Amino acid sequence: METKPGRRDDSKKKQDKEKNKFDKLERKSLEKQTRKKHNKPKPQVVETEIEEEVLPEGTVVINVPITVAGFCEQAEVSTSKVIMTLMKLGIMANINQNIDEDTVMVLAEDLGLSVAIGKVEEEAVEEGLELFEDSEEDLKDRPPIITVMGHVDHGKTSLLDAIRKTNVTASESGGITQHIGASEVRINGQKIVFLDTPGHEAFTAMRARGAHVTDIAVLVVAADDSVKPQTVESISHAKAAGVPIIVAINKMDKPGANPDRVKQDLTEYGILVEDWGGDVISVPVSAKSGEGIVNLLEMILLQAEMMELRANPNRLAMGSVIEARLDKSKGPVATLLVTNGTLQSGQSVVAGTCSGRIRLMTDHKGKTIKKAGPATAVEILGLTDVPQAGDEFNAVKDDKIAREIAENRKEKLREEVLARNASTTLEKLFSQIQEGEVKELNLIIKGDVQGSVGALIASLEKLNNENVKVNIIHTGVGTVTESDVMLAGTAGAIIIGFNVRPSTAVQTMADRENIQIRTYRVIYDVIDDVENAMKGMLDPEFKEEILGKVEIRTTFKVPGVGIIGGAYVLEGKAVRNAEVRLVRDGIVIHEGKISSLKRFKDDAKEVASGYECGIGIEAYNDIKEGDIIECFHMVEIERK
């Protein structure tokens, strides 16, 4: 009886021993496995590879595939130069297009750059977009899309107005009620779409962003002025885009009109009109008297018929963003030009890095519509963000797909910017050590129009000297925004506003972050100040001090005086004889002096914040409701 429990104990001990043995074995085997993982010889091989590959100084590492814009940013070359080089190589690319490894290498060789290819990623296919080619039987005729180009003061805008007036019926005596960046005209039962972008800058900017929307370019040349520099630029832009040209010889009603001289001068730039045995249609017109307008429209239809413009209305819509803005009450508003398919209200769309669902769709007359076919311009509400002019848009089946595509595009853009910043910072750090600390003047430029911004960039980039380099980190059209201030804070930049004014909120934010916003009206002042800043000589004698801001609530016409604004002082004070600037939607319209300031019927010396007043500007009458008048004076500052 006593031996039994002893046996049990022995067997228990035996079992425990075996269990421990098994546990140990198991633990050992696990350790061995992890050791194996750590001892993989693969990472060592990679390390030796990296050690061997020492890149020569000045070599840029580029991951492919990369967009043309990404390549330009990382290689620090202008987009126009890259696009022109690609054209010479026979590649018609826009800045949103991806280029592969071979193209990058050929491009770098042509531009004289030293480039090393980083990792090669497989190009991601965006699922949910209808990008198939249309079959022949699905295609139907579509109206032509026209851009009017030409030299300044040759009558582009007045020609567009004359075309609209010719087409206005009795019921629409007001003409085009809403300006959405495009207008439709009907003649002989057929439709023609005119893009309201008179000027080749906008045409080229849209083309660079991938908007191959124009079918025919109407080149306006004044009969009394003939070919001018911008006319030549317009011709080269139209030819580079491969767009047929129709010449409209305007101002035929003027006494000095000489159409033959125009035709003669055009031959020097490779344009031979039909009268002289060429293949370019020319039409004599007068925007003032309306002569030849109908003939011009008929010629456009004839040219379009020869081009056989066709599209498939029975598919999801695709096209380009013509214009986009942020409306205070409506949010992001975008004007889209449908080039293929049919766009329907309520559909989800993706435009560049923005997405959304169409809440409201209006045509060029401001009338709400449910669907828009090919070659129709519409204004839509419902996007989450403001897209860029020239971005391509696609209608998709549901919101989820639109959001995913937009997010992926944003992510890719962010990666490209980070890659650029990382590589350039390291290179700059190295070059600063080599060259004994080269200083950089970081600038953010905001202007009222694209042309001014371009001219400023070109002028400022020429100012580089051996000690200081001008580095323009961001440019844009429109007023200075909070995101500009944030970017300036991150990059340690100065913001230059040309013909634009920051709002009080933005100015307060800039002051809080200690960021300088300098505003100008004359391009030479910008150049002089930047040049002086680079020499370390900038020490202003006078500083502008804002006295107050006044909002125009209504306007009155006073006989013998002009237009007087019924105004409310938002902040600060309005002072008689103070200098003022008139700001409309963040853009400076006029600078002058207060000519009269009244409280009720009495003249006032100054009007404080929170009070109403009547205000008149010296020799200026174009005051509108909603305008902001900034009162300021110059304060002398002692030189340090």
Where residue 92 falls among pLDDT bands split at 50, 70, 90? Answer: confident
Longest CA–CA span in the chain (Å) reads: 139
Q: pLDDT grade, residue 196 (50/70/90)? A: low
* Each residue's pLDDT tens digit, 285-311: 988 888 888 899 999 999 888 888 888
- Average pLDDT over all residues of the chain: 77
CA 609 vs CA 47, 567, 584, 630: distances in Å: 69, 11, 20, 13
Q: Which of 19-23, 259-263, 274-278, 478-482 has the lowest mean pLDDT?
A: 19-23
More confident residue, 459 or 547: 547
32-46, 207-221, 453-467: range with highest mean pLDDT: 453-467
**pLDDT at res. 9:** 54
Left, alpha or beta for 356 (phi > 0: left; psi -120 to 50: alpha)? left
Distance between CA atoms of residues 344 and 331, nearest Å: 20
Query: How many Cβ atoms are within 10 Å of 611's Cβ, its own excluded?
Result: 14
**Tokens standing for 78?**
């202008």
Q: Which helix (H) or strand (E) holds 13?
A: helix 3-38
Burial class (CB in 10 A: 0-12, 13-18, 19+), 570: middle
* Residue at 351: amino acid letter: A
Please confirm whether the linkage preceding 244 is cis (ω < 30° from 0).
no
| pLDDT per position as a tens digit, 368-386 | 889 888 888 898 998 888 8
- 137-177: per-residue pLDDT in tens? 878 888 888 888 877 777 777 888 888 776 644 333 333 33
Least confident of 62-76, 381-395, 503-517, 564-578: 62-76
Residues 235-263 have pLDDT tens digits of: 877 777 778 899 998 888 888 888 888 88
Strands (E), 18-102: 60-64, 66-67, 98-99
The answer to whether residue 606 scores a pLDDT higher than 60 is yes
Residue % of the chain over a pLDDT of 90 = 11
The pLDDT score that the predictor gives to residue 232 is 81
Could you tell me the pLDDT band of residue 104, with boundaries at 50, 70 and 90?
confident
pLDDT single digits (tens) 401-422? 888 888 888 887 777 666 554 4
Supply 512's token pair.
Answer: 């809080």
Mean of pLDDT values over 539-560:
84
pLDDT of residue 12: 56
Can you read off the two tokens belonging to residue 127? 């699922």
Inform me whether the pLDDT recorded for 210 exceeds 50. Answer: no
How far CA 264 is from CA of 223, 226, 271, 522, in Å, comes to: 12, 9, 9, 38
Give mean pLDDT, residues 500-524.
Answer: 87
Query: Picking from 93-97, 314-318, 526-530, which range would have the lowest pLDDT averaged per residue?
Result: 93-97
Rg (CA), the chain: 32
The 10 Å Cβ neighbour count of residue 225 is: 20
Tell me whether strands 331-340 and 318-327 are parallel, antiparallel or unpaired. antiparallel
User: In this structure, which amino acid lies at residue 243?
Assistant: V
For residues 67 and 392, give the distance between their C-alpha atoms in angstroms, rounded to a whole number.
Answer: 15
Q: Is the pLDDT of residue 199 over 90?
A: no
C-alpha dist (Å) from residue 328 to 187, 293, 482: 37, 38, 16
Averaged pLDDT for residues 481-489: 83
DSSP helix/strand/coil, 616: strand
Percent of all residues in the chain with a pLDDT value above 70, rounded to a whole number:
77
What is the spatial distance between Cα 572 and Cα 274, in angstroms, rounded to a whole number?
65
590 vs 448: CA distance, rounded Å: 13
SS3 for 411-446 is HHHHHHHHHHHHHHHHHHHHHHHHCCCCEEEEEEEE
Q: Pick the closest to residue 213 from 318, 352, 364 (CA basis).
A: 318
Q: Are 542 and 635 in contact (CB under 8 A)?
A: yes
| Mean pLDDT of the 186-190 span | 84
* Top-confidence residue, 514 or 96: 514
Q: For residues 129 and 612, give the distance between their C-alpha atoms in angstroms, rounded to a whole number.
A: 55
* Residue 555 pLDDT grade (very low, low, confident, very high; cuts 50, 70, 90): very high
Give the pLDDT band (50/70/90) at residue 594. very high
Q: Give residue 535's pLDDT.
A: 67
Band of the pLDDT at 274, cuts 50, 70, 90? confident
| 468-477 and 439-447 strand pairing | parallel
Please, are residues 512 and 502 in contact by the beta-carbon 8 Å criterion? no
Q: Which residues of 168-196 are buried (b: 16+ CB within 10 A; e: fewer)?
A: eeeeeeeebeeebbbbbbebeebebbbbb
